[in-house]
A and B are shown apart, each in its own frame.
Chain A
Amino acid sequence: MCNTCGCNVTDANRHLLDEHADHDHHHHHHDHHHGEPPAAAAGTVAVLKRLLDANDHEAAHNREHFDEYGVLAINLMSSPGSGKTRLLEATIEALGGELRIGVIEGDLETENDAARIRAKGVPAHQITTGTACHLDAHMVHDALHYVPLQGLDVLFIENVGNLVCPASFDLGQHRNVTLLSVTEGDDKPAKYPVMFRAADLMLITKTDLLRVIEEFSPERATDAFRALAQEGPVLALSAKTGVGLQEWLGWLRSEVAAQKARAAAGKAVRPKVQPDGIALHGRGAA
């Protein structure tokens, strides 16, 4: 669709399209002038298509599945070891009786994380990517065969621990939640802007360690997040002590309710920032 409707033509790349159109036209004219087309003709074809077009289509397909069942899909992203699985355990402990939760786990190897989630009585499917440093929409689609959406309120997709690659791949989620643990340093949003720009919520985790890691300032982390043109909420919690957990659960409840309302109204939502978002869809049409 996008390669025919022209919505990916921006002010920055329009000249390329014009140049290439002229170029092609010139060749055709040249060929015509000599009557017979040559045995082998060289030409340039203007494309202007996202490299991850196939992934994006699969992601849209996944999102349709989620919307069909009214399930909220959340993509959890962070560095390895910042507490994604621990957060899920604490969330299931707190909301297991209230919300029906499913989990897709992404790791390079082992079933460990899925086993931890299943131990809490929640359906979980482990994707082991082998060497791939991220999940993509096709992997999530395959995993959906093992996680029945029917009856779920929320599906967490715990991405491979990595602050770089997962940000480039749409999985079909409705919301991106990016964790930043206090052991990582408060300048992470400035160092990994693509990841933090994609966040609908930044969650500062392991705040019980703030008393021993004085270098970490939640205010500085929030400032670095805001500097990425980020208006999204920032919450801080310790899944270990439970401090701050209620605010996270409140955010989650309101998102689940909003997704149910959208599903009932036949509407869909995408994460706030999609790659090429405003640039591809023209000025003022964000």
Chain B
Amino acid sequence: MHELSICQALVDQLRDLAARESAHRITRVLLRVGPMSGVVPELLEHAFPIAAAGTVADGAAIAIEGAPVRVRCRTCGAETNAEPGSLVCGDCGDFRTDLLTGDELLLVSVELERGP
């Protein structure tokens, strides 16, 4: 359950962002979490209100987008979809691939209210 730790890091970022943007309230947070990030989106959703309680992000909605697992083959150059447990090339089957997307753990954007 490291999702709570991650949400606490997120809330720290939100606090800094709100100060920088002179925002008094954060209303919505958009994350991008790939299946290879090692983080479970549902657990993040549950942990976020706990981490955000009493902060500028208290009550903010959290939305989490997924990301496809895609690899590029170093042998044949094909870019194909893959599975977390099998990152082999979908075209030639070679295991020597690079992950293009799928391990994101990003804060994408924040909706906030500025002013008094």
User: Once the chains bind, are B113 and A51 in contact (CB under 8 Å)?
Assistant: no
Which residues of A have CB within 8 Å of B91?
none
Shortest C-beta distance, A180 to chain B (Å), equals: 15
Tell whether A177 is near chain B: CB-to-CB under 8 Å.
Answer: no
Q: Give residues of chain A (30-58) contacting chain B, Cβ–Cβ below 8 Å.
A: 37-55
User: Once the chains bind, are B112 and A16 in contact (CB under 8 Å)?
Assistant: no
A205 to B27, alpha carbons, bound, how many Å? 49
User: Once the chains bind, are A39 and B37 in contact (CB under 8 Å)?
Assistant: no
**Contact check: which of A12, A48, A168 meets B37 at CB < 8 Å?**
A168
Interface residues as binary, B7-30 with A (CB distance below 8 Å gives 1, 0 otherwise): 001101100010001001001001
Given contacts A44-B111, A52-B105, contact A190 B2 (CB under 8 A): no
Shortest C-beta distance, A39 to chain B (Å), equals: 5
User: Once the chains bind, are B111 and A43 in contact (CB under 8 Å)?
Assistant: yes
Specify the chain A residue showing the minimal Cβ separation from B3. Answer: A165
Which residues of A have CB within 8 Å of B27?
42
User: Once the chains bind, are A45 and B109 in contact (CB under 8 Å)?
Assistant: yes
A253 to B58, alpha carbons, bound, how many Å? 51
Count contacts between A and B, CB distance < 8 Å.
Answer: 170
Q: Give residues of chain A (159-214) contacting chain B, Cβ–Cβ below 8 Å.
A: 164-165, 167-169, 189-191, 193-195, 197
Given contacts A39-B115, A41-B115, A168-B2, contact A276 B38 (CB under 8 A): no
Tell whether B61 is near chain A: CB-to-CB under 8 Å.
Answer: no
Specify the chain A residue showing the minimal Cβ separation from B39. Answer: A168
User: Once the chains bind, are B39 and A12 in contact (CB under 8 Å)?
Assistant: no
Point out residues on A near B: beta carbons under 8 Å: 8, 10-13, 16, 20, 37-55, 132-134, 136, 164-165, 167-169, 189-191, 193-195, 197, 224, 226-231, 275-279, 283, 286
Point out residues on B near A: beta carbons under 8 Å: 1-2, 5-6, 9-10, 12-13, 17, 21, 24, 27, 30-32, 36-39, 67-68, 70-72, 84-88, 95-116
What 5 pairs across the A-B complex have the smallest Cβ distances? A165-B2, A194-B38, A40-B115, A229-B87, A12-B101
